[in-house]
Amino acid sequence: MIESILYAILGGALIGLASSWFLYAKGRIAGISGIVGGLLGVWDSNSSWKLTFLIGLLLGGGLLVLMFPQAIVPPTGRSIYFVAAAGLLVGFGTRLGNGCTSGHGVCGLSRFSTRSLIATCTFMLTGFITATIMGVL
Amino acid sequence: MMKKNIASLIAGFIFALGLGLSGMTNADKVIGFLNLAGDWDPSLAFVMIGAIGVHVVLYRFILRRPSPLFHDTFHIPTSKDIDRDLVVGASLFGIGWGLGGYCPGPGLVSLSSGGVAAVTFVAFMLFGMFLHKLFIKRRTDAEVI
């Protein structure tokens, strides 16, 4: 448990550092759902950096697979239908609510945004309720 | 142009490593954190503490600068509306997160493993985002009429 907490803090600090670097270099909030969702429309002047951010994420994932493969674990207890439904809900929900764990959670809470605080409390609450119900069933 | 894109790539890369190291790309662990009825694993709460701990401090230093490194102005969200979209959207997202154990970043990072769950999740997430585009367009069109 202690080791798990240390990794969580260290990984979290890296996430905070990446968000800070993004703000410092580009002046923008590192919100992943917004960046990826923004790529689904017509190509504009903001599309290239969104695409390179996504490529960076995938390259980071590639390095993890090579160096630290135990970090990437699928939801073993969930059928593929649940995973598909989860994808739909996450995709639609993050766009409707204008953010996910990164944009509202990390960046929004760091700048004391009330909107982000409400969004974060809401998705944490429904996340806890859903996973707990699924766990009991 | 090139520098802006590389800066963005570096941000995505470090972000992915942070997600992997922190345990967020372990969907079983995420579900174990969100499931309060089972053998509860609270360690992922520390990801938020680590991330906000760093960003809350650096954010303030960065915004004292006149402009970002590669652009003219900062683009910080200004909306203060607590509306139905915010709450409904966040609720749906949370339900999906608890159902699959993936939020958007970890889903994308997990794609590199080539796992069926990650590929399925991301495909449907993109489809969900696309449906949102159609939904907004319909709603806007309806308002215009």
Q: Is the pLDDT score of A1 beyond 90?
A: no
Average pLDDT, chain A: 96
pLDDT tens digit at each of 145 positions of chain B: 688 999 999 999 999 999 999 999 999 999 999 999 988 999 999 999 999 999 999 999 999 999 999 999 999 988 888 999 999 999 999 999 999 999 999 999 999 999 999 999 999 999 999 999 999 888 888 877 6
pLDDT score for B145: 62
pLDDT score for B77: 87
Within chain B, residue ranges assigned H as helices are 2-22, 27-34, 45-62, 84-100, 104-110, 116-144
Q: Residue B12: which of A58, A48, A5, A107 has the closest Cα?
A: A58
pLDDT score for B93: 98
What is the count of structural domains for chain B? 1
Q: Tell me the average pLDDT across A31-60.
A: 95
Question: A45 lies in a domain?
Answer: no
Which range marks the domain in which residue A123 is found? 75-137
- A61-85 residue pLDDT tens: 999 999 999 999 999 989 999 999 9
> Is there a contact between A93 and B94 if contact means CB atoms under 8 Å apart?
yes
What is the count of structural domains for chain A? 1
Q: Residue B123: which of A85, A123, A38, A126 has the closest Cα?
A: A85
pLDDT score for A12: 98
Question: A124 lies in a domain?
Answer: yes
Q: What angle do CA A27, A37, B21 make, to 5 degrees?
A: 70
> What is the radius of gyration, based on Cα positions, of chain B?
18
pLDDT score for A102: 95
Q: Does residue A38 belong to the interface with chain B, where contact is any CB pair within 8 Å? A: no
ipTM of the complex: 0.96
Size of interface A-B (CB pairs under 8 A): 507
Q: Is the pLDDT score of A109 beyond 80?
A: yes
Question: A119 lies in a domain?
Answer: yes
Q: For A7, how many CA atoms within 13 A lie in the half-sphere containing its CB?
A: 20
Let me know: does B19 contact A11? Beta carbons within 8 Å.
yes
Quote the minimal CA–CA distance from A81 to chain B in Å: 9
End-to-end alpha carbon distance in chain A = 26
DSSP assignment of A70-110? GG-B--TTS-HHHHHHHHHHHHHHHHHTT--IIIIIIIIHH
- In our burial notation (b when 16+ CB lie closer than 10 A, e otherwise), range A67-102 reads eeeebbbbbeebeeebbbbbbbbbbbbbbbbbbbbb
Length in residues, chain B: 145
List the single residue in A with minimal CA-CA distance to B105: A32
pLDDT score for A53: 97
Which residues, 6 or more positions from B110, have their beta carbon under 8 angstroms from its beta carbon?
Answer: A61, A72, A74, B25, B27, B102, B117, B118, B121
User: Tokens for A114?
Assistant: 């009330």
- B3-36 residue pLDDT tens: 899 999 999 999 999 999 999 999 999 999 999 9
Which range marks the domain in which residue B28 is found? 2-144
